[in-house]
Each structure stands twice: as structure tokens, then as C-alpha cells.
Amino acid sequence: MSMTNPLLRHEGLPAFDAIRPEHVTPAIDELLAAANTALERAVSDAVPADYEALSAVLDTATERLGRAWGAVGHLKAVADSPELRAAYNENQPKVVEFHTRMGSDERLYAKYKAIRAAGAALSAPRRKALDNAIRDFVLSGAELQGAAKERFAQIQERTALLSQQYSEHVLDATDGFAYYATEAELAGVPADVKQAARAAAEAEGKDGHKITLHFPSYFPVMQYGEHRPLRETLYRAYVTRASELGAAALDNTPLMAELLQLRQEEAQLLGHANFAELSLVPKMAETPQQVMGFLRDLAHKARPSAERDLAEVREFATKELGLPDLQAWDTAFASERLKESRYAFSDQEVKQYFTEPKVLEGLFRIVETLFEVSIRPDTAPVWHDSVRFYRIERAGELVGQFYLDPYARSGKRPGAWMDDVRGRWARPEGALQTPVAHLVCNFAPPVGDKPALLTHDDVITLFHEFGHGLHHMLTQVNEIAVSGISGVEWDAVELPSQFMENFCWEWDVVKRLTAHVDTGEALPRALFDKMIAAKNFQSGLQMLRQIEFSLFDMRIHAEPDAATRVQQVLDDVRAEVAVLQPPPFNRFQHAFSHIFAGGYSAGYYSYKWAEVLSADAWSAFEEAGVLNPETGRRYRREILEAGGSRPAMDSFKAFRGREPSIDALLRHQGMA
């Protein structure tokens, strides 16, 4: 099958259009066999304790395995099917077992330590990669013996399976709900949203308008729908997804408890008091107490703003909307109405100017101007006909490439993310491998012959994910373990993504991102000024919400008995920091995929931590001019090109000339 299996192609880009579920097992078996052979060769006397020699044997085999398995995982996230899910779940334990075994192989660990002890003259990126590898051996159980080592491996396999099941439950619960609304029930909902809902119902041969829990369908109804019972129905369905209040087969309650128990056990096996401590070993933050202190300090600073925000929306709802008992399913609606009345514009009005082609053209132009590259369409096999592919060049030379998958659809995981297809690497045989990224969003698709329209929040999301992509693609580091986003501390990885969001609030930028869907006119300055006036609308509430999620995440991973009282911890956190209490049936934690099925366990605080860094980095552009090429060049070289080849704080200080300050973040959010 080797000759015909698309997952076994060594050269070029993944054949996403040709990969089928039946290809997965034969390819993974063959690649695992090759990786095992490489591992045994690497630890034998045939390969000296030399960085280059070890990389040539081991990295080549593991990178091929990683690329093929990455393609399977990616397809599962964007084009899930029962057959693909079965193939993925059959092979995941084998892949986890190999990586767990390799990560804790005492012979390999000894060889890496011998390379460091020999004191050979290594480049700075190689030295960083070597230090990271030795640290990761310890974190992967290389120093464990006997039963402890065996138990550690069992935990890795079980947690991978549980995280996968958690993610599947959220997707299935999201996909499994539909409400067919009448025209009357959709009073106030924007015409394009109704049109898309009607088309979705017609495609199934049904009457009415199909409303789902996918965000582009769900949220506009919560924001604009005047029919309160429909808002309540949708809200209840959304916040009880994958919980004991829905289908029993999709309940994530036991999965969360077991995941937390296993993470606690893993931490103790490795000599840490709790998983939060273990999680911080490779991060910038030093202790769970430091993180929680940082979050509580931010909460204290944000609370007066949040209390004002809540009082204003409650007063408005009572006086103007006849809603004296403001409920959770009313807040988005009342907030949108308050914003419209105060600033005399709506998200719906703004959306007419952000056509997807114009936004992309403007985004590309900013990146080209600041980072001295050119972006143009390219061709590659794709998994869906709405996916596009682009290349980034500098002075005619290929720098990187990326796939853009913009629209929500059934079988596609909710949310937005960047993932790597492959990293930049000076391969042992001499060729330079350029980086390739996936940029995935869940925007509302175009309806009829008009282009897709993006909300301003959608535009911010696109810029955010593109920032991650630039971090991955513009790297100039040739060592795969620390090129691009690889090896970057998890609590610094959001710096380049959050940095890019700032462009969405600059007039010189925004006017170039806009062209009205009907007239082609740019966004009027007066409307932009209203958006700026509203920029920090409810910023206090939003900040407390993020702090609530971050503190909950840190506490359930820092308190040894939290597995048995997840809801209690969340209730306690809300009592401490939230000013807006959700109803008792809210089961937010059951769909908190970031920490139960993503990489953010005991790390969700990274968004706030990195916001301090990104706001301070942005202030350098505010001082010099936001499209200043010299500042852009310095940012590119010190932050983006350096990747994970040195500590993130060193990169920040090299760009900014000093340590970060929280002042810029508070100023940007109107809380200074």
C-alpha cells in the first residue's frame, strides 16, 4: 500500500483530497515501525552522542510520523465522519504509546545528557532545543522506574483518549441540536442570518428556519432576536451541551473528573504537588500562586468597570426594554440594544462593510507592508471546496504557505485556531523545509451571489489567528524543535496573535479593510468613530469573564481534590470575581475544550498574561506609527523570526528594550 497511500508521501504537501479513513491504519503502522527502528538505532552504539547524528536518525522518522498523524487529526477537526473518527480512535493509543515511550527512554535521555556534557559548540537554537529536550525527558517520566514508569505511560494513553472523547461530545452535542423557527420567532434577527437559516431548512426539505448551536447561527439570534422564549431555548441548549442535562451518552461530567484525577496523579509521580505546578515548569510564570495573584490583581482593577457595565445594562433593560428581571439569555440582546442606543450603530450595520475579499486583501497588505513579504494565491489539494491556499515570499523566495478554511459547517469543530502542517527545518539531507500552517475559522458562509460578511469580531478573530500563523511561518530558525511556535513558552504564544488584533482598531487600516457589500464604499469615518467610542463597551465585564475562566482552570488543577467538586470550584470562583452570575443550570465547564481537550490545562491564564506583552509591544507601534516599516522589521526579527530559539522574555526585551509593563493593557481597555 506504500506506493498508493497518500499519508505515506514524503515530498510536498498532504494530499488532503485523497486521504481516506482506510488509509490511516496501514500508514500509521508503517510510520510507527519506521520510527521504532529509528529509535532503536538512535540509542545504539551505531549513532554517536552527537547532535547532528542523532537528529539525522530520529528527527527524520518522527517528523514523518508527526506530519501524517497531524493530517489525520486535522481532517478529523474540519471534516469529521464516523469512519474517520473510528480510524483516528483506533490509532491514537498507538501514537501516544510511541511518543510516551520515546519521551521516557532512559537510553535516549542518557545520550542527550552526554551531548550536553561533551560541551560541543552548538548554535544558540540547538542549545535551546537540547535544553528543552532534557527538560521534557524529565516531564515525560524518563527518571521514573518500574511500576511508576508503567503507570505514567498508562496515564498518557488514558488522558489522550478522554480528551478526544470530551471533544467529540462537544462536537456531537453542538451538531445534534436544531430548532426550526417561524418567521415571527425571528423578529429582529438580521436578514442575512434568516436567509441562511431558511436555506439550511430548505436543504433538509423542512419548513421554517434552521437555527443551530454553531456560533454564526446561534449568536445573532441571542444578540438581535426579540422573541424571548426562543433566546431562552437556545441559551439553555448552548450552556448545557455535553452535560448531565442533555443526552447521557454525551455527558462530559465523568470525563472531567477522571482527567483531573489522572493529571493530579501524573504530577505527583513527577514530584510535584499538583498539576498546576507541573504545567508551569516550561512556562514563563513560576508558580500557581503567582498566576492567581496576577489574575486577582487584574480582577480587582477591572471590578469597578464591570460593576458600572452591569448597572448600566440592567437599568437600560428595565427602562427601555421592559425587562426588570434581566436573565442570562437577555444580556447579549440588552447589551446590543444599549450599545445601539448609546453609540447609534449596530454590529449588523458595521458588518455590511466587512466583505471577506476586502478584509483579506487589507490584511495581506498590512502584513506585506510591515514584514516585507508578498502573499499570493497558490495551489494545493484541499479537504473542502471553500478552502484556499496561499504562499508568502520575500524577494522572490518562498518563506511559508498556509491554508485558509473560513466557514462554519457540520462536522467541523467550533471555534478558530491555527495549527502547523510542518515546521521550518534545515533537513539532515541538506534541503530547507519551509513552514506550512492551517488557519481555521467558523464564519457564516456567503449566501447567494454576495460575498461572506464578517462582523468586526470576526475580523479580529481572523487577524488573531493570522498572528499565530505569522509566528509559525516567518521564523528564520532552522532547528525544527524551536522554529516558529515550537518551543515557545505556552504563556507567551498568544503575544503575536493578540498583537495583530490591534490593527482592527486603526482608522488608516480599517478604511482599507472595508467596502460596502452593495455600494462598495469604505466604512464612513463617523461610523468608525462610534465603534472606537464603543470599543471598551463592557470591557470590565469581558475582562472578569476571562479571569473567571482562568482562575477556575488554575484552581481545579492546583487543588488536589478538585476532581470531585468541579462545579463547586466554579461556583466559588464566580462568587469571588464575577459580578454577573449565570443560572444554576449553566454547565460552561462541560464544553470548555481549551482546558479539557486542548493544550490550555492550567494555562488558560496565558491569554491575559500574553495580553500584557502584546499591549506593551503594540505601544511601540503607537509611538512610531502603526505601519512603520522599521518598527515592523524590528518586531519581525526579534519576536517572529526568533520563534522558540530563546526565552520569550529575552525576545520581548530585545524588541522593547525593557521588561513588559501592565500600563498599556489597562490603557487600551479604558481602565487606566
pLDDT digits (tens, 9 = 90+) for 210-224: 999 999 999 999 999
Residue 131 in domain: no
What number is the average pLDDT over the span 378-391?
Answer: 98
Let me know if residue 161 belongs to a domain.
Answer: no
Q: Are residues 68 and 206 in the same domain?
A: no
Q: Are 634 and 655 in contact (CB under 8 A)?
A: yes
Which of 471, 476, 504 is closest to 610 using CA atoms? 471
pLDDT tens column, 68-77: 999 999 999 9
Report the chain's mean pLDDT, rounded to a whole number: 96
Q: Are residues 95 and 232 in the same domain?
A: no
Does 86 share its domain with 195?
A: no
Q: Are residues 109 and 188 in the same domain?
A: no
**Are residues 295 and 608 in contact, defined by beta-carbon separation less than 8 angstroms?**
yes
Is 523 among the domain residues? yes
Per-residue pLDDT reduced to its tens digit, 131-152: 999 999 999 999 999 999 999 9
For residue 618, pLDDT over 90 is answered with yes
Cell numbers placing 131: 535544553
Q: Quickly tell me which residue has 530585545 as its cell.
A: 654
Single out the residue in 121, 144, 159 at which a domain terminates.
121
> For residue 165, what is the enclosing H or E element?
helix 146-175
What DSSP element (H or E) covers 149? helix 146-175
Shared domain check, 521 and 613: yes
Spatial separation of the C-alpha atoms in residues 49 and 60, rounded to whole Å: 17
Q: Is the pLDDT of residue 671 over 80?
A: no
Asked if 504 and 384 sit in the same domain, the reply is yes
Spatial distance between the Cα atoms of 457 and 545, rounded to a whole number of angstroms: 17
pLDDT digits (tens, 9 = 90+) for 443-460: 999 988 999 999 999 999
Q: Which of 642, 168, 218 is nearest to 411 (CA)?
A: 168
At 3 the pLDDT is 64
CA-to-CA distance for 510 and 527, rounded, in angstroms? Answer: 11
Asked if residue 92 is part of any domain, the answer here is: yes
Are 98 and 214 part of one and the same domain?
no
Report if residue 39 sits inside a domain: yes
Q: How many domains does the chain have?
A: 3
- Confidence bin at 665 (pLDDT 50/70/90): confident
Position 10 scores a pLDDT of 84
- Structural domain including 26 reads 6-121
388 closest CA partner among 399, 400, 376? 376
Which of 214, 241, 268 lies at the terminal end of a domain, its last residue?
Answer: 241
Q: Which three cell numbers stand for residue 67?
A: 506530519
At residue 119, the pLDDT reads 85
CATH code of the domain containing 405: 1.10.1370.40
- pLDDT by residue (tens digit) across 7-41? 999 889 999 999 999 999 999 999 999 999 999 99
Residue 94 grid cell? 498507538
Same domain membership, residue 203 and residue 116: no
User: 3-state secondary structure string, 590-641?
Assistant: HHCHHHHCCCCCCCCCHHHHHHHHHHHHHHHHHHHCCCCHHHHHHHHHHHHC
Same domain? 380 vs 488: yes
Which pLDDT value is given to residue 1? 47
The conformation of residue 119, written as its DSSP 8-state character, comes to T
pLDDT at 666 over 90: no
At which of 100, 121, 142 does a domain end?
A: 121
Residues 415 and 522 in one domain: yes
Per-residue pLDDT tens digits for 267-302: 999 999 999 999 999 999 999 999 999 999 999 999
Please report the pLDDT score of residue 2 as a whole number.
55
Q: Where in the sequence numbering do the catalytic residues fall? A: 465
Task: List CB contacts of 388: < 8 A, sequence separation 6 or more.
Answer: 377, 382, 403, 404
Nearest CA to 348 among 118, 494, 527? 527
pTM greater than 0.85: yes
Structural domain includes residue 128: no
In a domain, 600, yes or no: no
- Looking at the fold, whether 182 and 114 belong to one and the same domain comes out as no
Mean pLDDT of the 323-329 span: 97
Positive or negative torsion for Cα 617, 619, 625, 630: negative
What are the grid coordinates assigned to 339, written together?
A: 450599545
Residue 289 lies in a domain: no
Q: What is the mean pLDDT of residues 83-108?
A: 97
User: Do both 15 and 111 map to the same domain?
Assistant: yes
CATH code of residue 95: 1.20.1050
